[in-house]
Amino acid sequence: MKKYLTSAALAVAALTAPMASQAGVLRTVLDFEAVDTTNVFFPPLLLQGDEFYQAGLAGRTMFFSPFSNAATAQTGDLVGDLIDGSIPDSCGNVLCPSNNATNYVGMLNDGVMAFGSTDGFRFSVKSFNASFLGNGDPLQSTPGFVRLQGVRGGMSTTATFALTGLDSSGRLNQTTINTGAFGNTEFDFVYAFGFACATPGGGTTCSAFSTDRAQFTLDDITIEHIPEPGSLALLGLAGFAAFSASRRRAA
């Protein structure tokens, strides 16, 4: 009996080994370096109704849908830009982060960015790079916030993160923001939008969707997916049952 149980355990381990090798955390970084802009009408500008794509987790595809939350929004309204940070004048007269020479997204005029997997594959957001996007007005010590709103099965969770103002040299910089507890939940899709602040330090005068000043940049969004542990247990039971049946037939 002991020999039989040992053999069975080894057989189950062999059957579950391929799954175990896939059972680790899936992780990727959405860096906007290789995006499909087939459905962007006038790239690099992002308009209401546009959608672009980038490779996601485990061979899947992520969609990015920029839009305006304004009641009067119409298809074709300008809501953002795919910015090439290696080009000095890529932002025109808008103050962009000076420490990012790669591609990133800039959201303008209170625009919102929705993103998720095209097949509905759930994911969590662990961190991202972000900055305020200056529009010529004097910048406060806390010029604004970025809020993430994750949606899962009709329920939503939000988290808000402060953006930094000008550094000692008068420049804006992207910083890495860890999402903390927000990153512990996997969502169907996520919205990112900005709050603009009118007084130093933020406070009660920060608002979204009402000022056309809630502008921000996004880059290097780290997303993850943890496979359900139950899948390994089910496979193990199935493997044990199959091995037991083969032993009975052999007997």
**113 and 133, same domain (yes or no):** yes
pTM above 0.85, yes or no: no
Quick one: pLDDT at residue 139? 66
Q: Tell me: pLDDT of 134 over 90.
A: no
How many Cβ atoms sit within 10 Å of the Cβ of residue 29?
15
What domain count does the chain have? 2
Q: Return d(Cα 33, Cα 198) in angstroms, integer.
A: 33
Domain holding 242, by residue range, is: 1-24+230-251
Cis omega (within 30 of 0) for bond into 44: yes
Query: Contact at 8 Å (CB) between 230 and 209?
Result: no
> Which 3 state secondary structure label does DSSP give 66?
strand
**140 and 216, same domain (yes or no):** yes
Q: Tell me: pLDDT of 3 over 70.
A: no
**pLDDT for 158-209, tens place per residue?**
999 998 888 888 889 999 999 999 999 999 999 999 988 775 554 557 777 7
**153 and 237, same domain (yes or no):** no
**17 and 116, same domain (yes or no):** no
**98 and 20, same domain (yes or no):** no
**pLDDT for 198-251, tens place per residue?**
755 545 577 777 776 778 999 999 999 999 775 545 545 544 454 455 445 455
The helix (run of H) or strand (run of E) holding residue 10 is helix 2-21
Q: What CATH number is attached to the domain comprising 163? A: 2.60.120
Packed helices 2-21 and 230-250: angle between N→C axes, nearest 10 degrees: 140
**17 and 130, same domain (yes or no):** no
- The single-letter DSSP state of residue 152 is E
Q: Return d(Cα 50, Cα 186) in angstroms, integer.
A: 25
**157 and 243, same domain (yes or no):** no
Closest CA to 124 of 221, 59, 212: 221
Burial class (CB in 10 A: 0-12, 13-18, 19+), 81: buried
- First-to-last C-alpha distance (Å) of the chain: 13
Tokens of 165: 């103002």
Q: Tell me: pLDDT of 91 over 50.
A: yes
**144 and 207, same domain (yes or no):** yes
**162 and 76, same domain (yes or no):** yes
Quick one: pLDDT at residue 164? 85
**pLDDT for 13-50, tens place per residue?**
333 333 333 458 999 999 999 999 999 999 999 999 99
Closest CA to 131 of 175, 90, 168: 175
Q: Which amino acid is at 30?
A: L
**135 and 213, same domain (yes or no):** yes
Task: List the beta bridge partners of residue 55.
Answer: 61
Burial class (CB in 10 A: 0-12, 13-18, 19+), 97: buried
Q: In the block, which residue shows the tokens 């139950």?
A: 230
**6 and 49, same domain (yes or no):** no
**9 and 108, same domain (yes or no):** no
